[in-house]
Amino acid sequence: MRLSAEQLAAFDRDGYLFLPGLFSATEIDVLDAEVPGILAQERQEVVREKGTDAPRSAFHVQTWNEAFGLLSRHPRLLEPGMQILDSSELYMHQFKINAKEAFDGAVWQWHQDYATWWNDDEMPAPNAMNIALFLVEANEFNGPLMFIPGSHKGGRLEAGHDVTTTSYPLWTIDNPTITRLVEEGGIAAPKGPAGSVLLFHGNIVHASGSNLSPWSRWIVYLSLNRCDNAIRRFKRPGWIANRDFTPLVPEADDCLMRYAERRKTAAE
């Protein structure tokens, strides 16, 4: 899959690009069938919300679930990343499903992902990005992602290490800085159906509110990094900050449907 010149220009200007309905309902059904079992597992990679049993994130899923392993190498996700990062050799710095469960999904504070990648992992440069796939609808009620358009242009901002607000430590940006950035760029919250994809820069400032609705908001995130920009500090566990810098090789475009057919045949 190739992004157009107009799409690349929009990404450069805003720091993100929204592609509604990039994956079919049938493909999403294949992935969604796996999610409840993934989130129910009691393992270190499945992080719970603070003070509850509600799942917050499931990390490194591509290594312990076949369907998401295929998704981690899907050409509709990898090829736009290769275009934007100007490299055919990318590795998976981080892979996770953020659950934001109905009623119990907590906030993700205002932050830049590269601040964490720099402070915790010593990633040399912001030559990395996120690609997010909506596994269910993201709407105004279930805690959609919020971006400050153009905020990636300011580079890496000062951040403080918040280890108390939620169950997941995060390098966050103070309220006065957020106020200034919003006055300059506003706030955008891309919303859309399951199968939609968001591409966003490692330095764009973003957040999401709590989910008080009866609808969970499942999103899977691929954090792609150039192999020549590999991290130099191994402070965090490998299932959070990957230490395997092997270049990703795209699968066939119909890999999820082939997986579903194999599962169906095996069950018959």
The mean predicted confidence, pLDDT, of the chain is: 97
143 vs 122: CA distance, rounded Å:
30
Q: Mark out the alpha helices in 86-172 (DSSP H runs).
A: 113-119
pLDDT band at 254 (very low <50, low <70, confident <90, very high): very high
- Name the residue with tokens 């992080």: 47
- CB-based contact 218:86 (threshold 8 Å): no
Q: Look at residue 266 in the predicted model and tell me its pLDDT.
A: 84
**What are the tens digits of pLDDT across the range 110-165?**
999 999 999 999 999 999 999 999 999 999 999 999 999 999 999 999 999 999 99
Q: Does 263 have pLDDT greater than 90?
A: no
Of all helices (H) and strands (E), which one includes residue 235? none
Name the percent of the chain lying above pLDDT 90.
97
Structural domain count of the chain: 1
Q: Of 107, 157, 100, 103, whose CA–CA distance to 132 is shortest?
A: 100
Q: What is the pLDDT of residue 14?
A: 98
Confidence class of residue 183 from pLDDT cuts 50, 70 and 90? very high
The predicted-structure confidence for 40-56, as pLDDT tens digits, reads as follows: 999 999 999 999 999 99
Instruction: Please state the rounded mean pLDDT for residues 184-208.
Output: 98
| CATH code for the domain of 40 | 2.60.120.620
Q: Which domain holds residue 142?
A: 5-267
The string of DSSP codes covering 163-191 is -SSSSS-EEE--HHHHHHHHHHH--B---
Q: CB of 90 within 8 A of CB of 78? A: yes
Average pLDDT over residues 173-186: 98
Give the CA-trace dihedral at 14, 20, 24, 27, to 10 degrees. 40
Asked if pLDDT for residue 232 goes beyond 80, the answer is yes
Q: Give SS3 for 110.
A: strand
Q: How far apart are CA 251 and CA 254, in angstroms?
A: 8
Identify the pLDDT of residue 264: 82
Q: For residue 51, with 0-12 CB atoms within 10 Å meaning exposed, 13-18 middle and 19 or more buried, which class applies?
A: exposed
DSSP H helical ranges for the chain: 5-14, 25-32, 35-40, 66-71, 75-85, 113-119, 175-185, 255-267
